[in-house]
Structure formats: structure tokens, C-alpha cells
Amino acid sequence: MEDFIIGLDIGASLTKIVLVNERLEIIRRMVLPSMDPRETALRALNNLFSTIDSEDRAKVRMTLSTGGRSRFLGNEILGIPIMRVDEIKAIGFGGLTLSGRNNCLVVSAGTGTALVAVYDGGRAIRHVGGTGVGGGTILGLSRRMIGVYDFKVLEEMALRGDPSKVDLTINDIVGGSIGILPANVTASNFGKILGEASAEDVAAGIFNMVSQTIAVVAVMAAKAYNLEDNVVVTGMLAKSRLISRIIRETTDLFSVNVIIPDNCELAGAIGAIAVYLKEKGESDSKI
């Protein structure tokens, strides 16, 4: 009988759960808000099980958990053993698995932003660092500046807005390009906010600031770690059309190649399973 495995990534804001078979093919997936870790884990598993029949339920062997809020979940949930996987490893293997690369810089664009360098199919994994600028920054600033806290509403507003009403460009300062940068590139995020800027323009400025920061941090890390051809952007933020567009526009300026895989928001959850399967394979072959 085929075995099923669950990956559960309890992030700072959102919990991602995925049910896969041993070939890592996705059978079910869900995203829900993160609350108390054990309560969230229970809710995620119950929600998932409500969508499959008892035959498939019986195939589930294991839950692999990861994410900042995945500590203290105990050894089992709903009778299924649960094992915790280090989040850096999970992000690294998630990026590898989803992109099919052998070496890559994985950018986890979530509430905050984490960067993980992975080499040689995961035999070497380094936590490069990151930035506190991320999805939480978008929601926090927009709540205070324009009173909107819903990501989708905000994205729609940002798409209608004009960032040139809030951002100072290179052209605004020098009247043309400078060094490697074309005239339309941002010189100072929010450096020109005008009285006439609408809520939509401010939303566009917030999306610009966060996406450009993530992209520039990724570019610098990719260059320092020799991974310019293989930057894999994951996390829920990468699902946003606007964010991924701005990230690509920014990384293009520096000739860094960005991959945004399908299922990018599931990198942690799928990566946790990939780590488990790899370690299990290695220990099986040692016996």
C-alpha cells in the first residue's frame, strides 16, 4: 500500500499543510492562519482529513513539522507520529525540490525574509541571514498608513497606484541614469511622498519598498555565495503577481536569475518531508 506523508509549516503568520505520496506528489494542500502551535496543528490536520476518505487517511504514516512556531508539538497528533525538522534545512531542501536545481540560494519571503544557500544537492546548507523586511512589513505599514490589513485588497490597490508619487527615482535626482542603474530605478523609497499621493499610491510604494529590499538582499547574497544563476524565491509573498514582478525587475538589473517555482508557498512543508525522506533513505542504506 502506498504511504502518505504530511508536511506542516507553522510560520509566523500562516500555516501551510500539504499531503504527499512518497514521490512527493501533492494530494492535498491548505493554508490557514497560525495561532497557538498545537491548536493550529490540530486544526490543520483535522481540516486536511475532512477532505480525504478513511482509506487514504489510513495511508498517512508521519507528519513532518517545521516553521518558527512548530516547537512543542509533542510526539504525535491525531495518532500520527510527528517529527520536527530544522527550518533552515527545510527551506533549503524545499527550494531544491521545487526548483529541481542542485545548487541554489533559497529566499524564503514570508512574514520576514530568510536566505539559505544550498550546494551539492543539499550536502551543504548555510543560513546566509535575511532581513526583517517582508510580508509582515507590508501588512503592518499599510494598516498604519492607509488602514488596510487584507493582503489581496492591498495588492489590488497597489496595482492601481502610481509609485512615482511616493518614490524618488534616480531620474528625479540626476536627470538620467547613473553607473549601472537606469533613470527609472528607485533612489529612495518614500523619498518623494507628495501630499497628493492616494492610498493606492502609498500601497504601491509599500509593495515597491518591500519587494525591492528582498530583491537587493537576495542579489548581494547570490553574488557573495556564487549563486547568481540559481536564486529560488519561495514563501507566500512570492505568490503575489506584483511582488514577483518587482523582484524580477530588480534582480534583472544585476543579471541575477530568479526562479519562482509553482507551489512556492509550500517550500517549508515540502522541504521538511524531503529532509525526512533523504535522512530515512540514508539510514536505511546503512543497515
Ligand X SMILES: Nc1ncnc2c1ncn2[C@@H]1O[C@H](COP(=O)(O)OP(=O)(O)OP(=O)(O)O)[C@@H](O)[C@H]1O
Collapsed DSSP state (helix, strand, coil) of residue 173: helix
11 contacts Mg ion (rule: CB under 5 A): yes
Measured from the CB atom, the residue of 32 and 187 that comes closer to ligand X is 32
Number of shown-chain residues binding Mg ion (CB under 5 A)? 2
In whole angstroms, give the CA distance from residue 212 to residue 251: 9
271 contacts Mg ion (rule: CB under 5 A): no
Q: List the interface residues with Mg ion, window 82-111 (CB under 5 A).
A: 110
Q: Min. distance of Cβ 135 from ligand X in angstroms? A: 3
Q: Min. distance of Cβ 235 from Mg ion in angstroms? A: 6
The distance between the two most distant Cα atoms of the chain, rounded to a whole number of Å, is 70
> First-to-last CA distance in the chain?
23
Query: Which of the listed partners (ligand X, Mg ion, none) does 135 bind, with a CB threshold of 5 to 8 Å by partner kind?
Result: ligand X
Residue 271 neighbours by CB under 8 Å, 6+ apart? 7, 66, 85, 89, 90, 91, 92, 93, 94, 95, 96, 97
In whole angstroms, give the CA distance from residue 136 to residue 258: 22
Q: Min. distance of Cβ 239 from ligand X in angstroms? A: 4
At 130, give phi and psi (nearest 5°). Answer: 165, -160
Query: Which amino acid is present at 25?
Result: E
Measured from the CB atom, the residue of 15 and 164 that comes closer to ligand X is 15
Query: Which of the listed partners (Mg ion, ligand X, none) does 191 bind, with a CB threshold of 5 to 8 Å by partner kind?
Result: none
Measured from the CB atom, the residue of 11 and 161 that comes closer to Mg ion is 11
Measured from the CB atom, the residue of 135 and 261 that comes closer to ligand X is 135
Measured from the CB atom, the residue of 11 and 37 that comes closer to Mg ion is 11
Q: Min. distance of Cβ 67 from Mg ion in angstroms? A: 5
Q: Decide: 128 and 220 in contact? Cβ < 8 Å.
A: no
Q: Min. distance of Cβ 19 from Mg ion in angstroms? A: 19
Q: Decide: 208 and 192 in contact? Cβ < 8 Å.
A: no
Q: Which residues bind Mg ion (CB under 5 A)?
A: 11, 110
